[in-house]
Amino acid sequence: MNDITIIGGGLVGGTMALGLAQNGFSVTIIDAHKKGSQTKRAFDGRSYALAQATIRMFTVLGLWADLHANAQPILQVKASDGRAGQGPAPWHLHFDHDDLGEGPMGFMVEDRFVRLALSNALNTTPNITQTFGHTVTAQDGGVITLDNGTHIQANLIIGCDGRQSSTAQRAGIKRRVTNYHQTALVCAIDHDLPHNGIAHQFFMPEGPLAILPLPGNRSSIVWSDQTDRAKAINDLPDAEYLEFLRPRFGDFLGDISLTGARFTYPLTLTVASEMTAARMALAGDAAQGVHPIAGQGLNLGLRDVATLVEVVTRAKRRGEDFGAADVLQRYADWRSFDRTTLTTATDGFNRLFSNDNALLRPLRDFGMAAVSAAPNLRRAFMREAAGMSGDIPHLLQGKAL
């Protein structure tokens, strides 16, 4: 019997396994994908804006040493209303890392580098067993059954199996799903002019467009549009796809060209009604999957990781049964405020900004200009986005347990 079984070995499940194993737990990870498939370049086109608190945790876990050479510091964020062909509105929201004095506001890292660093760490950490290419067909308390008939017993199961978490379903946990009828078009571009570490967010009537700096003269584009139109745009050949993209953000980066593949992601908000059940906890998108408008989904999932690792480690050290209901409730309670705030905020922002209402537009512009002009408010937003507000688990403060 191992201590903990993690169902889902994506970025959240993998980081969870690493954090637990480094704190003395024996862990088994089960993932439906075949071994090695998740570290291929074409697997996932996302790049992540990793918050400072995430970087601190990755440093403690030993991941950041492998990542920072391929990471782009985010020095400023500029957000404004925008319309195709008109460029950004004159009033905008501007955050500068100098305002906080804690280094860059975060770092952009491509998915493939995070997965590789994580996979290398998992392969070399004792007490981690990885089972690829299998799904779970049944779960009863701490016992799970795989599709090949194998039974695995543990004191605690952690569901990190994404937005359609079958771990949650098997435990009878309900899920609230809001379909935004939006799809994110994701690609990377090369451009002539330097981005100077500035991330841009344009709130277009159809959905937000983010231009996020990558190392060199490259940027990651996350462009949300209504699903039908996004599908039609994605079906276009590269040259025509670029013709749609260019007028949406103007010429401040000079000439642009596509680099690598294009990807699409349907956008929903999904929130599990509970984070725990008998001998089971959820983390990452399995617990809550948010709109990428604020680049927070993975950071939020990793906050689940830091919290659960701390709760169960402290329980084990005190001699408690770390899979017991009262211990898991501490995890759910600790995560409650942050999870509710972020799911509500990302949903609200997307609704407020993804429309062309003639009354809302000037109000939005005024709101952004007002926040921009209020240094304390600006810093409060920045601390929240950096994961540095509230009762912060040790790993997110850069401290080992």
Ligand X SMILES: Cc1cc2nc3c(=O)[nH]c(=O)nc-3n(C[C@H](O)[C@H](O)[C@H](O)COP(=O)(O)OP(=O)(O)OC[C@H]3O[C@@H](n4cnc5c(N)ncnc54)[C@H](O)[C@@H]3O)c2cc1C
Nearer to ligand X, 300 or 368 (CB): 300
Q: Quick one: which of 265, 245, 299, 249 has its CA closest to 180?
A: 265
CB of 58 to ligand X, least distance (A): 12
CB of 339 to ligand X, least distance (A): 13
From CA 203, how far away is CA 195, in angstroms rounded? 19
Q: Helix, strand or coil for residue 60? A: helix
Q: From edge to edge, which strands make up the β-sheet containing 47-51?
A: 47-51, 106-110, 72-74
Q: Which residues are bridge partners to 200 per DSSP?
A: 78, 211
CB of 95 to ligand X, least distance (A): 15
Which stretches of the chain bind ligand X, using CB under 6 A?
7-13, 30-33, 46, 48-49, 135-136, 160-162, 166, 184, 186, 222, 265, 284-285, 292, 295-299, 301
290-306 burial code (b ≥16 CB/10 A, e <16)? bbbbbbbbbbbbbbbbb
CB of 72 to ligand X, least distance (A): 12
From CA 49, how far away is CA 72, in angstroms rounded? 9
Nearer to ligand X, 222 or 311 (CB): 222
Nearer to ligand X, 89 or 263 (CB): 263
From CA 229, how far away is CA 214, in angstroms rounded? 27
Decide if 173 contacts 272 (C-beta within 8 A).
Answer: yes
Nearer to ligand X, 49 or 89 (CB): 49
Nearer to ligand X, 32 or 371 (CB): 32
Decide if 164 contacts 255 (C-beta within 8 A).
Answer: no
Nearer to ligand X, 93 or 315 (CB): 93
CB of 334 to ligand X, least distance (A): 18
Start-end of H helices in 204-294: 227-234, 238-249
CB of 220 to ligand X, least distance (A): 8
Nearer to ligand X, 51 or 315 (CB): 51
Nearer to ligand X, 48 or 365 (CB): 48
CB of 152 to ligand X, least distance (A): 12
> CA separation (Å) from 150 to 36, 61, 157?
22, 31, 16
Nearer to ligand X, 305 or 315 (CB): 305
Secondary-structure percent of the chain, ordered helix, strand, coil, rounded to 5: 40, 30, 30
CB of 49 to ligand X, least distance (A): 4
Cα 160 versus chain centre, distance: 13
Instruction: Provide CB contacts within 8 A for 36, sequence distance 6+.
Output: none
CB of 11 to ligand X, least distance (A): 5
CB of 370 to ligand X, least distance (A): 26
> CA separation (Å) from 367 to 73, 96, 334, 364, 377?
27, 18, 31, 5, 12
From CA 308, how far away is CA 158, in angstroms rounded? 10
At residue 129's C-alpha, the angle toward residues 127 and 135, to 5°, is 150
At residue 217's C-alpha, the angle toward residues 213 and 36, to 5°, is 70
Q: Helix, strand or coil for residue 192? A: coil
